[in-house]
Structure 1
Amino acid sequence: MDSLITAAARALAAGDPLGALNRVALRDDAPALALRGIAMAQLGDLVRAKALVRSAARAFGPKEAVARARCVVAEAEIALVSRDLGWPAKALDAARATLEAHGDRVNAAHARHLEVRRLLLIGRLDEAERTLSELVPVLFPPASRVAHELVVAGIAMRRLQTKTAHAALARAGRAARHAGIPALTAEVESASLALNTPAARLIARGEERLLLLEEVEALLASRALVVDACRYVVRDAGTVVSLSTRPVLFALARALAEAWPADVPRDTLVARAFRAKLADESHRARLRVEVGRLRTMLRTLAGVSATKRGFVLVPRHAREVVVLARPVEEAHAAVLAFLADGESWASSALALALGASQRTMQRALDSLAAAGKVQSFGRGRARRWMTPSASGFTTTLLLSAPLPTD
């Protein structure tokens, strides 16, 4: 390997993509193409980066299996940052196996982290946690330890384990300072903001207030009966009843919880559950049926009693009834929540992450775009969506070892 390739690889490992390009920008050999691709990815030009990395993979000879495997890992990371979550998992797994077989444990671990981050984005927490447990972070260089701890923190935050998340972010911060890469430090600081910004809204006895993530954790561990409008469940400290597939029942439960300890008039319940402006006898008959179904679903947590003007929720064990809602509730709020990470997403990736059809997701994105809340770039399958204020600078593409070395 020549001195320019070595210097460019070191510049990339130190988070200096411009320094790397200064050395290899005019070269078209395989190692230079790979380094140029990673540099362009760090600068945010993901389309060009993907093309360069693919060209590098084709240019490496049949005896350069490790270099080709690293190109596969780099392309997978570009796909992840592009929020193209449908990449071939088998190709990444084969690349990881090749890297492990040739003793490149650092980049093999990097491939494993990419797999875990994808699982985290699409909500498969148990699988992400099992995969992550196979890694030993103390053996990693500082940049790889940052990636590991950020994934640990991401899983902990989604499981509402704020102490674990704080500890992981503290370790990530120390590793980022040790690595001396400003982009990594910025990424840790960005992740830390999630613990210090409102995560949900509490509605109780006619009043509302915002909650931090640790306050949400404390609420769900309390003896209160919580109607959770973030996950569409009703829960107390020991029991969880999912109403995610029963939207009418959940609408009734939420209306009753928001009014507790008072009752809710029948016409109000009809309007909330059936979206009917005027309640006639058929609506009232249907309301009685749905309230009966709600009683059956919530029988271990609460009863639903009839009053002169409507119905009231009667908790069996809890002394308080509250509603936990998203900080901001509007049309397509879940889509905006995913786009708030500052990255560009493919509509197919959003559909996968939210468990919706691609047609439904496209309609939601078109509606948000018409309102000026999201914007897109690219065409066809290369089209990506993001919030208007998002930065184009990519901090996550930092391969943990120089790509072309064997």
Structure 2
Amino acid sequence: MHSLITTAAQALAQGDPLGALNRVALCDDAPALALRGIAMAQLGEFERARTLLQRAARAFGPRQPVARARCVLAEAEIALVARELGWPGKALATARTTLEAQGDRVNAAHARYLEARRLLLIGRLDEAEARLTDMPAHALSPASRASCELVKAGIALRRLQTSEARAAFRRAAQAARMAGVPALMAEIEQASQALIRPAATLIAAGETRPLRLEEVEALLATPTLVVDACRHVVRDSHTAISLSRRPVLFTLTRLLGEAWPAGVPRQTLIAQAFRLRHCDASHRARLRVEIGRLRRALGSLAGVVATPGGYRLSLPEGQPVAVLAPPIEGRHARLLALLADGEAWSSSALALALGTSQRSVQRALDALSTDGKVEAMGRGRSRRWLAPPVPGFPTTLLLPAALPST
């Protein structure tokens, strides 16, 4: 029996769940239940896998804390893959503490990786990076090392640090080749495509063209005044001002940025910023108030001056202006950005990742489903949402995370 368990565990480590099941499918002792649960998870049968792991944890009992902690670890990984981001993180932290105390460094390190990946998905980059800091590389298997490097690459992509991301992808690919797991190698290859696909649209001097991530990074390092419509930030190489909570001011800034060096007529500003077809004296008065607020918000970054027909941006001589727009725009672009990873998300996980209410997410999903842009699977608590990836549309700039203010 011991040899069957060992052989099944080796099969799972090599990404062969069917081979593992062939050896332990008819066994009901605690180790076999745990291995069957992991095998079912690798085959995508998450509910069955969760049930088997919970049975295994009960079968191990309180006298085998390490084995129970490993079951919790496997259940946490299933929740992460199933995008159940509300899964109790305290249970995973407790399991990690137990594994560290009992000297199981390999699984304790894997628990740190799972914590970091969850934090990355919900946009808490600093905390995710802290989980990976000082993680002993010798305690990780090649497959786990590749997964950790994927998280590091994801953090670097969100921060627009393309050279760090490229190096992390290279290390991840090397570790995946050592592990010999085809699915992991394919995941790394797919994730690394974010470096070469168009990530944003540049609008400057009346021209529009796509930009890759490294070109976006280079643009933000120049003195150019960038109106970033991906993050609702106005910035140059030294200062960043967020207008994410002031949509009217950002709409005005974007209109002025797209028209620069020319001005924008008052009628256009009123129609776009206030969403009105017709304007009167009260709307023009409101526009003057909002322009005053915009001047105060922008401070020394840029000025807004009146023209005979409207307003235009005023900058130091020689400083250009560029608008950085997302590749796909719309009311639910950030939601589609999360769904574009090809995974099945629950509405609660999407709400957690976007920092909004679950009810708002559900209304948005219903609207997108009506338009045929997303699909639902299951019912009730087991309902999950999917959207096919959009060709050439990496989601890095739309995912929850703030750009660094250098």
The separation in 1 between residues aligned to 2:64 and 2:318, in whole angstroms, is 64
Contact 1:301-1:317 within 8 A present in 2 as well = no
Counterpart residue number, 1:39: 39
Shift of 1:136: 2.2
Q: Which residue identity does 1:13 align to in structure 2?
A: A
% identical aligned pairs:
68
Counterpart in the other structure of 2:322: 322
State whether residues 153 and 166 of structure 2, in contact with CA within 8 Å, keep that contact through their aligned partners in structure 1: yes
Q: After the TM superposition, which of the residue ranges 267-276 and 2-11 deviates more from structure 2? A: 2-11
1:399 maps to which residue?
none
Kept in 1: contact 2:340–2:389 (CA 8 A): no
2:71 aligns to what? 71
Q: 2:119 is matched with which residue?
A: 119
The 3 A distance-change label for structure 1 pair 14 and 89 is same
Over 3 Å counting, the alpha-carbon distance change for 1:134 and 1:251 in structure 2 is: same
Distance in 2 (CA, whole Å) between partners of 1:132 and 1:242 is 29
Alignment of 1:370-381 (within 5 A): 370-381=370-381
Supply the AA of the counterpart residue of 1:141: S
CA distance in 1, matches of 2:224, 2:93: 45
Instruction: Name the residue aligned to 2:247.
Output: 247
1:62 corresponding residue in structure 2:
62
Q: Deviations over 1:350-375 (max 9, x none)?
A: 11111111111001101111111111
> 1:223 touches 1:318 (CA, 8 Å); kept in 2?
no
The aligned residue for residue 363 of structure 1 is 363
How far 1:171 moved relative to its partner?
0.7
Distance 1:353 1:191 in 2: 19
Q: 2:17 maps to which residue?
A: 17
**Is contact 1:122–1:354 with CA below 8 Å preserved after alignment?**
yes
State whether residues 224 and 318 of structure 1, in contact with CA within 8 Å, keep that contact through their aligned partners in structure 2.
no
Once superposed, what is the RMSD of the aligned Cα atoms?
1.4
Once the two structures are TM-superposed, the CA of residue 388 in structure 1 deviates from its matched residue by 4.6
Q: CA deviation at 1:52?
A: 1.6
SS at match of 2:324: strand
Q: Which residue of 1 aligns with 2:294?
A: 294
Amino acid in structure 1 at the alignment position of 2:58: R
- The 1:59/1:158 distance shift into structure 2, 3 A limit, reads same
Counterpart-to-counterpart distance in 2, 1:187 and 1:138:
23
Match in the other structure for 1:232 = 232
Deviation at 1:73, TM superposition (A): 0.5
| Greater relative contact order, per chain length (Cα 8 Å cut-off, separation 6+) | 1
Q: Distance in 2 between matches of 1:388 and 1:214?
A: 25
* Residues 392-403 of structure 1 mapped to structure 2, 5 A cutoff: none
- Aligned-partner SS, 2:195: coil
Q: What is the aligned partner in structure 2 of residue 303 from structure 1?
A: 303
Q: What SS is found at the alignment partner of 1:199?
A: strand
Q: Which runs of 5+ in 2 are unaligned?
A: 391-406
Q: Distance in 2 between matches of 1:13 and 1:319?
A: 56
Which residue matches 1:29?
29
Residues 172-321 of structure 1: pairs in structure 2 closer than 5 A: 172-316=172-316, 319-321=319-321
Task: Determine helix, strand or coil for the equivalent of 2:40.
Answer: helix
Contact 2:109 2:139 in 1 (8 A): no
Q: Is 1:351 paired with 2:351?
A: yes
**Structure 1: tracts of 5 or more residues without a match:** 391-406
- Residues 90-122 of structure 1: CA distance to partner in whole angstroms, max 9, x if unpaired? 111110111112221111000000000111111
CA contact 1:233–1:240 (8 Å) conserved in 2 = yes
The whole-number CA distance in structure 2 between the counterparts of 1:19 and 1:280 is: 74
Q: Deviations over 1:199-257 (max 9, x none)?
A: 11111122211111111100111110000111111000001111011000000000000
Q: Cα distance, 1:312 vs. partner?
A: 0.3
The equivalent residue for 1:333 is 333
CA distance in 1, matches of 2:137, 2:20: 27
List structure 1 segments (4+ residues) > 3 angstroms apart after TM superposition. Answer: none
- Distance in 1 (alpha carbons) for counterparts of 2:70 and 2:385: 28
1:115-169 Cα shifts (integer Å, max 9, x gaps): 0011111111111111211312244221111011111111111111100110111
SS of residue paired to 2:279: coil
Q: Is the 8 A contact 1:230 1:325 kept in 2?
A: yes
- CA contact 1:21–1:39 (8 Å) conserved in 2: yes
Checking the alignment, whether the CA contact within 8 Å between 1:203 and 1:258 is kept in structure 2 is: yes
CA distance in 2, matches of 1:267, 1:138: 64
How many corresponding residue pairs? 390
- Tell me by how many angstroms 1:36 deviates: 1.2
Instruction: Give the CA deviation at 1:317.
Output: 6.9
User: Is residue 375–residue 388 contact of structure 1 (8 Å, CA) maintained in 2?
Assistant: no
SS at structure 2 position matched to 1:373: coil
CA distance in 2 between partners of 1:240 and 1:178 (Å): 42
Contact kept, 8 Å, 1:11 with 1:17, in 2: the verdict is yes
Residues 8, 21 of structure 2: 8 Å contact kept: yes
Inter-partner Cα distance in structure 1 for 2:32 and 2:369: 39
Q: Is the 8 A contact 1:302 1:315 kept in 2?
A: yes
Q: Which amino acid aligns with 1:87?
A: W
Kindly indicate whether the alpha-carbon contact (under 8 Å) linking 2:30 and 2:57 is maintained by their aligned counterparts in 1: yes
How far apart, CA to CA, are the structure 2 residues paired with 1:385 and 1:58?
A: 32
**Letter of the 1:266 counterpart:** R
Which of 151-160 and 129-138 deviates more? Answer: 129-138
Tell me the amino acid that sits aligned with residue 83 of structure 2. R
Aligned-partner Cα distance in 1 for 2:317–2:249: 21
Confirm or deny: 8 A CA contact 1:225 1:318 kept in the other structure: no
Which residue identity lines up with residue 66 of structure 2 in the other structure? V
User: TM-score with structure 2 length normalisation?
Assistant: 0.93
Output one character per residue of 1:263-287: Cα deviation in whole Å (capped at 9) or x when no partner: 0000100011000011111111100
TM-score by length of 1: 0.93
Rounded to whole Å, the distance in 2 between the matches of 1:96 and 1:312 is 57
